[in-house]
Chains A and B, each alone.
Chain A
Amino acid sequence: MSRDFFLFLAVFVASLVEGVEAVTIVLAAGLTRGWRSALAGAAVASVALVATVAVLGPALTALPIDVLRLVVGALLLIFGLQWLRKAILRAGGFVAVHDEEAIFAAELAAARAVGREPRGIDGYGFTVSFKGVLLEGLEVAFIVVTFGSNQGNIPLAVLAACAAALLVIFAGVAVRAPLNRVPENTLKFAVGVMLTAYGPFWGAEGAGADWPGGDAAILVLIALTLITSFALVAATRRRYARLPAAATTPVPMT
């Protein structure tokens, strides 16, 4: 029950974050280049993502369970640590917080600067939308496949991703503007914590270690990751405050 809950939560929140970023790009493409091209690009990218999960999911579950846990644990931990690292640097001020308004404005300006095709599908609008959805969605597909295969419940992971995607799409259609009120960094922080807790749990099991307390160890790992991350955010903020003014412009990062 708790494993399924964490699986659903991790995939849902990760999909929410990436979905917000994808919707910003599709909105910009749709408003400037026409909805037909933008929606076609998004639809083709979605099919490619579904195909990725459909191919990689069964391939991973065919591995022996210890090999699967070792490989998936390592990948999830590397991925989770990168998410957490970015979130901590953003929270500390060293990296600019993701600004959907600014990204939306930049996408609009770029799309308007390119000449339009006279009729049919607009190549620029299609490509921008396709790339946006595919690139943002790949991270979700990666989490769906790794998390889902290790829990033996890829359908639940897919359900969580679809639920988040629908929520973001409805919100995007409703406001017809970038979803800049979604606390993206906080959500990325939460996903990073979950991946960073589950990665070592499965990786160590796959390497032959036994966790004291069995599955309950995952809760201790989540608590340890949270405490470490909060301590690092506090230390990072202190360090940022001590920097000379010239060096305190946060660097944008995707």
Chain B
Amino acid sequence: MTENEVPALTEFSEKFPFPVVGATATTPGKVNILIQAHFQNIHIADASLAMDMRFVAENAQRLTAALFQIALSREFSPTAITLLRTRIALERQMSPDSHPLTDPRLGLPRDLAQRLQYLGTRADLDEMMLMDNKELGDLVHHHRMGERLSRALDNFPKVTMEVQTAPLTRKVLRVDITVRADFTWSDRVHEITEPFWIWVEDSDSIRILYSQYIVFTKRKMQDPIEINCVIPLSDPLPAQIFIRAVSDRWLGAENYVPVSFQHLILPDMNTPETKLLNLRPLSVAALHNDVLEAVYSSKFHYFNPLQTQLFHVMYHTNQNVLIGAPTGSGKTVAAELAMW
């Protein structure tokens, strides 16, 4: 005999930072509440409900991991970030809106973590990085904690990125990204590896143009990781693109760098090409070689316009030639001519 769960579930949902979609008595409503109860680390007394929560939390991790892969394959950047945050939050059993430094792995005292959570956006991570111990102590109104905070900030995984771009053609841009780890490794804080997702976004930060998973290890963390990719360029050229780095293990360990295209010089619109001349097709007899004529005349008696135009330079001279033509236009036969 189980008692009515609805009042208990409704009571939980009133404390959650995110609205629950769906009625409490429905499956989606209950699942939503249980996921958020897992985030908030709520203790559930009812055994069957506690078991449901474990089941939901474990499956939700696998599902968000899959959903993240789907968002990545659909190239949806904002959704992918949200899903990654949700997955980490489920794994670490902390709310997705937690202050990054409240992660238990950093080992900050509970009251200090609560203080940071309370400060919220006023304790901005990027601003905190620039503060010295005294300023950090002032921020949390606890001077002795300045040093602890400073150490936590130093251990918190961050990366720096350097980007170089080189247009290959008007429509294709080569992007070289150098990623360096910018934190101090501590065996107490970090697991064996610190993985990050690096991706290139379009100018609206919506579409993912390229993505890669990179891993820093303790031994190799001083070595920069190079990423080389080629992305398509739209016409007209966007003002900029973004390179984003998101940790696969830590909430809020994210940063991005804009890459401006203001000074990007694109290659000429016109590609140098030789016009196909209106020549009379050349007979295979022009080879003046019985064996070769016999080889070709089994297939055709006249060279096509492309081969006719190339004939002299290929057959009679030793010049270097670069041929670029569509498939099936007779390039192979033209190349054969150079071999005889």
* A, B co-complexed: no
Chain A interface (Cβ within 8 Å of chain B)?
none
